[in-house]
Amino acid sequence: MTDNGEDSRLHHVCEAPGKEDSVINDSRPYEISLVDSKSCKEHNDALKLTAGNSEGEISPYQPRPPSLPRLSKSSKTGSVEETVRTRRLRNSQESLSDPAETGSSTDSLKEDQTVPAPGVAMVRNHNSNVRPLSAVTTRSPGFRDRGNSLSEFESRPCSQQSDPIDQWVRSTKVRLSPVQPTGPLPALEKSFASATLRAANRIDRDCLDYSVLAKEKLGERLHRNLSDSRLLENMGSDSASVNSLRSTYSVLSPIRPQDVRNRSFLEGSVLGNGALLGAEELDRYFPDRRLGIYIATWNMQGEKGLPPNLDDFLLPTDSEFAQDFYIIGVQEGCPDRREWETRLQETLGPYYVMLYAASLGVLYLTVFVRRDLIWFCSEVEHATVTTRIISQIKTKGAVGIAFTFFGTSFLFITSHFTSGDAKIYERILDYNKIVEALGLPKDLPDTNPYRSTPSDVTTRFDQVFWFGDFNFRLSKDRVDVEAIMNRTVEGDMGPLLEHDQLSKEMNDGSIFKGFQEAPIHFFPTYKFDIGCDIYDTTSKQRTPSYTDRILFRNRQAGDIKVVKYTSCSSIKTSDHRPVIGVFHVKLRPGRDNIPLGAGQFDRGLYLEGIRRRITRELKRREAMKSQGSSTICTLS
């Protein structure tokens, strides 16, 4: 259709606005009312703009008017009105049911609130709703600015909002006025929170050592490590939740949903973000990158009866904090190994789980770890070596347990060497056989293969602890040894250690190459009469000696710091006194290329130990209650 034909038809419609047959081609059921004397002319100009060029091309940036429903030939005027009314009702219901539309009143009312400029024709359908024709044929603000928060009517000056046409258009849809408060709102406190927020990031009190370290040593450095600063920048919450997140009592940070979607531990590196064993996780749990390890060695002399209480053995009162790892090596252990492990679990309580246990005859080696750290441990491997000529007699030899924690590999060995005052050479042979025959690691990757030696197992790990009954004696008569002990003051054991066989052989380089030992400030741990603090009173009159020792070796100098090295004099059920050592070991971030242990531990042992702990506590409370309720009557 040409432009002239379109102008003549529109002019005919403008002259007869009240006729019923004003529908154009049955697809435009509209009547055009004259707003002013210039509306038809300006409307013709608008149609010329939308008609495109003479070739019929339409600009890709020009919005097209919405398609109108086609009416059947048998449709009457009444049916047209009913169809339009039904369509508008359905549109209004969809607008109300759409959550995106109900959340904003400006988008759903945009088209009906659009007010035409003077001289623009108004298009009125048979449902008596008015729409500006420019909104259909031109790029009106109703199509360009659907994302605006204010409609065109609300953004106009107040002087233009009083137009009667505007008021009539606004009345086509009902808008609720905003709810205003009846009075002044109460003032909010500077820090408001519910009980749930205050306790959202609290953890057990066994982690109080991290807060003390933060206040005394680390300061703000721990403050940043225990909370994700990137998370705080992107989250919106009240002051209480932010303070709780930054609290030094919180070791774990909240996890964002996008991190759960995207995070993967299948691949990782030292510098990789999000690696399970990487620097980010390591700094979160160990801000100073130091791991606390408690090591105990004890020759139990094969006694069936265990001490009634192992608290002094594992949890001495002179220690300020419990440690992260507890490694217990036993020689000549009790016949019931499971009972021994259960007693250890009962003593350590619910904060710790048994990661692994291995044995060789009566040699027991047990590893306990804090339960929230098991996810960072690799699979655990163990190996045994017997030093007896007859392999069926398994009283002398060694048990080794190896695993990787973050990026640091550990090897723990407990051993029992040949006994006898003069059998130094045999003990050196035991050591050489163990370092050559202990087949570790098996499947775990070596963290530093360039510094490993095939003939020495202790060179294949970053941190090595070797402890047990080495049976090295003091090369001195008992009378002379007792005289030196009587002259010893303030824990100076130098005069005694001058006669120590192990110290001499280590200085000569014939045994324990590369190992160190902390200074000794305690009396010899062998040999006592059972149940007392008196050295051997039997006919053999054995010389007191330092048979029970704890040695350590590291690849990097200064990685192991000695905190405590002493004996436990309160355990007297054996002729040996237990020897304990506390160490702080430096950790390094690692790669996610090692087989992880997947949080496995001995669940049955854990439940049995906790059950016994609860039973013991209930019995103690019952005894205290019965003792408090009893009274004593006296007659004078």
550 close to 579: Cβ distance less than 8 angstroms? yes
Which residue bears the tokens 């086509």?
A: 172
Percentage of residues of the chain with pLDDT beyond 70: 58
**Side chain identity, residue 543:** T
Q: Is 219's pLDDT higher than 80?
A: no
Whose CA is closest to 518, among 491, 484, 487?
491
The count of other CB atoms within 10 Å of the CB of residue 52 is 12
Average pLDDT over the chain, rounded to an integer: 74
Q: What is d(CA 68, CA 66) in angstroms, rounded to the nearest whole number?
A: 6
Check residue 87 and give its pLDDT.
55
Helix (H, G, I), strand (E, B) or coil at 311: helix
Backbone φ and ψ for 467, nearest 5 degrees, come out as -145, 160
Which residues is 564 bridged to in the sheet? 582
**Side chain identity, residue 497:** L
467 close to 329: Cβ distance less than 8 angstroms? yes
Instruction: Kindly give the interhelix angle for 501-508 and 424-437, rounded to the nearest 10 degrees.
Output: 60
Which residues is 560 bridged to in the sheet? 585
Per residue in 73-119, pLDDT tens? 444 445 555 555 555 555 544 444 444 444 444 444 444 444 444 44
**Side chain identity, residue 112:** D
Check residue 80 and give its pLDDT.
53
Instruction: Calculate mean pLDDT across residues 375-384.
Output: 96
Check residue 280 and give its pLDDT.
85
Q: What is d(CA 400, CA 354) in angstroms, rounded to the nearest whole number?
A: 16
How far CA 593 is from CA of 260, 401, 402, 494, 520, in Å, comes to 20, 20, 17, 47, 40
Instruction: Calculate mean pLDDT across residues 184-208.
Output: 50
Q: What is the DSSP string of 484-497?
A: HHHH--TT--HHHH
Check residue 139 and give its pLDDT.
44
Check residue 519 and give its pLDDT.
96
Token pair for residue 455?
């003939």
* Sign, CA torsion 343/347/352/358: negative
Q: Is 627's pLDDT higher than 60?
A: yes
Confidence band, pLDDT 50/70/90 cuts, at residue 64 = low
Which residue bears the tokens 């590369």?
A: 514
Check residue 234 and give its pLDDT.
43
Return the minimum-mean-pLDDT range out of 28-42, 254-268, 314-328, 378-392: 28-42
Pick the CATH number of 279-613 from 3.40.50.1700, 3.60.10.10, 3.40.50.1010, 3.40.50.300: 3.60.10.10
Q: What is d(CA 562, CA 293) in angstroms, rounded to the nearest whole number?
A: 10
Which residues is 401 bridged to in the sheet? 382, 412
Per residue in 225-265, pLDDT tens? 333 344 334 444 444 444 444 444 456 677 788 877 876 65
Confidence band, pLDDT 50/70/90 cuts, at residue 157 = low
Q: Is 55's pLDDT higher than 50?
A: no
**Side chain identity, residue 160:** Q
Check residue 120 and give its pLDDT.
43
Most confident segment among 11-15, 118-122, 317-321, 370-374:
370-374
412 close to 401: Cβ distance less than 8 angstroms? yes
Distance of CA 58 to the CA centre of its chain: 58
Omega within 30 of 0 (cis) for the link into 527 = yes
Q: Is 126's pLDDT higher than 90?
A: no
Return the minimum-mean-pLDDT range out of 87-91, 448-452, 496-500, 562-566: 87-91
Which residue bears the tokens 């192992």?
A: 310
Helix (H, G, I), strand (E, B) or coil at 205: helix
Backbone φ and ψ for 440, nearest 5 degrees, come out as -135, 145
Confidence band, pLDDT 50/70/90 cuts, at residue 546 = very high
Confidence band, pLDDT 50/70/90 cuts, at residue 594 = confident
Per residue in 420-433, pLDDT tens? 999 999 999 999 99
More confident residue, 521 or 202: 521
Check residue 61 and give its pLDDT.
57
